[in-house]
Structure 1
Amino acid sequence: MEHTPTIRSKIETELKQRGYSFSSFSKISGINRGTFSAMLNSNPPKPISVRQMDLITKALGYPEGWLYELYIEECFYEGKGHWKRIKPFLLRCVELGRQDFIQKVLSRLTEDLSYVPTIFSLAEELHAEGKEKESVPFYECVIENERYYHSERLAISQYRLFRIQLGTNAEENLKLTIQFSPFLYRLPEAYQLDALLQMANIYSSLHKWSQTIFHSQKLLELATRIYEYRKAQGYKNYDELGPYSSERSLVVYYGQALLMQAYSLQKQELYQEAKKMVSRYADLSWFRGLDEIGQREVEKIKMYATANGYVLDLLMGDNRNLGDYILLLEENEQEILPGILTLLEVANKQFLNIDYILNHFSDYIRKFSENEDALYMDDYCNFNLQLSIYRFYSKNYTLGIDTILRNLELATLLNNSNVFAQSIILFEKYKGFATKKQYAEFTIHKKKFEKDFNFAF
């Protein structure tokens, strides 16, 4: 039977082959001679720390991680997990990106399920340090091994993965939302706020307006309940009420819930209902418990209300505030893309010429294609659709078709079948104006989307 080397036998073999004594190796490794001797000769031997293991590895000229496979046994000396060794080892493996060793340690640890809370604490520690991707295997481990389905720990782990895994792929984001939704109401309320906002945003990006309104209404109810409870708790001095300990200011969730409902109503052409909703977030200065950040958010939400009021007037045929709206866009760069998208929708419905506006904002429009944020990409796709329609109405067919082709490329990147379908329909309507090169490019995009996503048009 072949003898399996231990970390100590491996080190001893290397020292013997290279002719090192404890004294000479102590000098080149920086480890105290007595400490080094105790690690190899004491009975029981003195534990080897991760730092000491790395010093030994460096002194022997081996690459980082050389002894890590054997060190796992050091972490489970005599079959029992020793967290004081395991945690530093896991953190070092995180630094080196050694997922293989992380998985082996977690697999050994979870033979004893009493370690699940400890693993969760480490995951939260990594997350708090901004190491979100690195925390994933630890949250996954908790999810796989948590015994109690209704535990808050399991819900938070599911929530963390949901947030970390969100990306630019719209359909994948929807799947993540559906997978996470059973755990929503097991979260602490502070987490529920942000989860509901994320879910509403995802449904909005896919133009699922009823679901957007549903989750926005739930967000409004939760934010209102938290606010009223906190105000009641501090009813004698609620002017001094401190900010709520959520990811964002409580007023943001309250305002965004109303804003997203108004936007959903607008997109369904229910303009009067949308205007009533806009009036509800036009001035939130009455909101208590605002710090400096919260007060700035109130001003930002007020600006959104002004902008959206102009938008609804324009959509209903009232162009008197068009100049004020353009001025507002100039002063708020983040509003330029959705603002011009709205102006294109208005122009296409009312057959207006807005070339001078598009030229005025041309530098900003050019920047939008470089932003890879999922929500901006969604707006940019819709912008391209409306811009194509505008160019077709202006009889600028070549540019219109080029814009549609760019949108097909983006829709494939985002896996957004809704945008792809709208772009296909628009191309088919004007395909008689396409050049042979444009038609060939269209065919390639269409076939690629159908193949990659098993979706037939």
Structure 2
Amino acid sequence: MENATTIRSEIEKELKLGGYTFNSFGQATGLNRGVFSAMLNGNPPKPISVRQMDLITKALNYPEDWLYDLYVDECFYDGRPHWKRVKPFLIRCVEVGNLRCVEKVLSRLMEDLNHIPTIFALAEELYEGGKLQEAIPFYECVIENEKYQHSERLAISHYKLFRAKIGENTEINLKAAIQFEPFRFRLPECHQLDGLLHLTNIYSSLHKWQETITHSDELWEQAKIIYDEENKRRARKNRSCAPIKTERHLVVYYGQGLLMKAYALQKIGDYENAKKIVAEYGDLSWFDGLDTVGKREVEKFKLWSRGNSYTLDLLLGDTSVLPQYVDLLENNNDEILPGLVNILESANRNLFSVDSILERFIEYIDIFRKTQDVIFMDDYYNFNFQLAIYYRRNKRYKDAINAILQCIQIAFFLKNVESFAQSMVFFENNRILCDEGQIEIYKSIIKEVCKDEEGFSFTFAFSNSSQ
């Protein structure tokens, strides 16, 4: 076979250049001399394994994927795919980032669509092993070639691809959500709840409140359906029944459906309806099937309900709850940053001072400034934006500009176009308040944005003004 001979001739050429014998090269690679001889001189030659190829490459001091293009035909030795070579080769290709060879092998495999279940199984194996990024090309292959458009395998591939692509980049997150969305109800029940939960969270992080409400309703309704079905099964069998296997306790999906809807209603200004829903998830102790984990989750919802109830009272102008809310935050560190966002938003809406509260939490605010944890970034952006409004309103202009410069940097880091635009507009409207140092900081940020390959198309109009 021509290509199979080529991989061997490449190795033989290097042996001659290096003055190796089979024996000396066998020692250099750790391969048995007889095995090595059979690979090169056998009739027919013994197939080369991926491990053997990597050992040969390392001994010759070449880049680790030196022979990978030639090895594609070794996977189809005698014209048929040999899974003992195909599978480890595909895994190695994604590990070293050689997606070109992955595409070559998958293209050959897809000449026979009966290989789709095998590719899907490999994707699942990688995914369950925590190798989400490595699984991406294989799920994409299934999606592109699946014959049955209503198959469960296709829906699961869309879901796992969606999960694998979620990350720091909000633009990528939105595209992934849109691609997955049509398949959310074709999934098995065990994946439906998790899929809906992640969809809801993404749309919430993107401040797309109507989509958040839609998917939070779907999440709550689906959780209720499964909850009712499990209760019926337990009643029929008159004994304990294994719950549906999900990533989180069932009460989490039920409660999160309510919590996220209330949060979206709050953001669109429907405070009264938000308050009703906040009260609903404040007491989920009635939920059947609560184990230790479930009871712990119920306590979390109880805490969040208290905090969000205070938030809504503040937004409605009732500042009497402020001391209780601040005490709650001091006793629950994880709630401090989102809590300060709520307090600032209420102060800006109802025109009261929170200087003493900001001073009270100054040590935590300093910690937030230093963190690069993506989990906090969206809240930290909102904190700085509300802080910029607060300082601007109180004529602390330098502090306001510093806060909005933080917003611009965070939005650029997250690749969040809407937040970037929002903070840029604030800056441009208040440019007259900037000192020379702040203008220079702004110019340096814009230069970084313009250099970025994934930069935002609209930023160049603003960048002209920074020259």
Determine if the TM-score, normalized by the shorter chain, exceeds 0.5.
yes
2:456 aligned with 1:452: yes
- 2:203–2:209 contact (8 Å) kept in structure 1: yes
Matched residue, 1:305:
305
1:213 deviation in Å?
A: 0.9
Matched residue, 2:154:
154
Matched residue, 2:228:
228
Gaps of 5+ in 2: 463-467
Identical-residue share of aligned pairs (%): 55
Q: How does 1:245-256 map to 2 (within 5 A)?
A: 245-256=245-256
Worse-matched range after superposition: 123-132 or 42-51: 42-51
Q: Deviations over 1:218-245 (max 9, x none)?
A: 1111111111111211225788444431
Aligned counterparts of 1:50 and 1:8: Cα–Cα separation in 2: 14
1:312 deviation in Å?
A: 1.9
For the residue of structure 1 that corresponds to 2:207, the secondary structure is coil
- 1:126–1:135 contact (8 Å) kept in structure 2: yes
Gaps of 5+ in 1: none
The alpha-carbon distance between structure 1 residues 436 and 33, as it changes in their structure 2 partners (threshold 3 A), is closer
- 1:404–1:427 contact (8 Å) kept in structure 2: yes
For the residue of structure 2 that corresponds to 1:186, the secondary structure is coil
1:321 deviation in Å?
A: 3.3
Matched residue, 1:114:
114
Q: Structure with the greater relative contact order (CA < 8 A, sep ≥ 6): 1 or 2?
A: 1
Aligned counterparts of 1:97 and 1:262: Cα–Cα separation in 2: 43
1:208 deviation in Å?
A: 2.4
Q: Deviations over 1:375-398 (max 9, x none)?
A: 632222221121112112322112
Aligned counterparts of 1:443 and 1:9: Cα–Cα separation in 2: 56
Matched residue, 2:465:
none
Matched residue, 2:169:
169
Aligned counterparts of 2:51 and 2:225: Cα–Cα separation in 1: 50
- 1:168–1:373 contact (8 Å) kept in structure 2: no
Q: How does 1:6-17 map to 2 (within 5 A)?
A: 6-15=6-15
- 1:243–1:249 contact (8 Å) kept in structure 2: no
Q: Which one-letter code corresponds to 2:456 in the other structure? A: D
Aligned counterparts of 1:184 and 1:106: Cα–Cα separation in 2: 27
Aligned residues: 456
Q: How does 1:17-416 map to 2 (within 5 A)?
A: 22-23=22-23, 25-235=25-235, 240-372=240-372, 376-416=376-416
Worse-matched range after superposition: 432-441 or 394-403: 432-441
Q: Which one-letter code corresponds to 1:162 in the other structure? A: F
The alpha-carbon distance between structure 1 residues 44 and 426, as it changes in their structure 2 partners (threshold 3 A), is closer
1:291 deviation in Å?
A: 3.7
TM-score, normalisation: structure 1? 0.88
TM-score, normalisation: structure 2? 0.87
- 2:158–2:180 contact (8 Å) kept in structure 1: yes
- 1:197–1:219 contact (8 Å) kept in structure 2: yes
For the residue of structure 1 that corresponds to 2:319, the secondary structure is coil
Q: Which one-letter code corresponds to 1:355 in the other structure? A: D
Root-mean-square deviation over aligned CA pairs: 3.1
The alpha-carbon distance between structure 1 residues 354 and 16, as it changes in their structure 2 partners (threshold 3 A), is closer
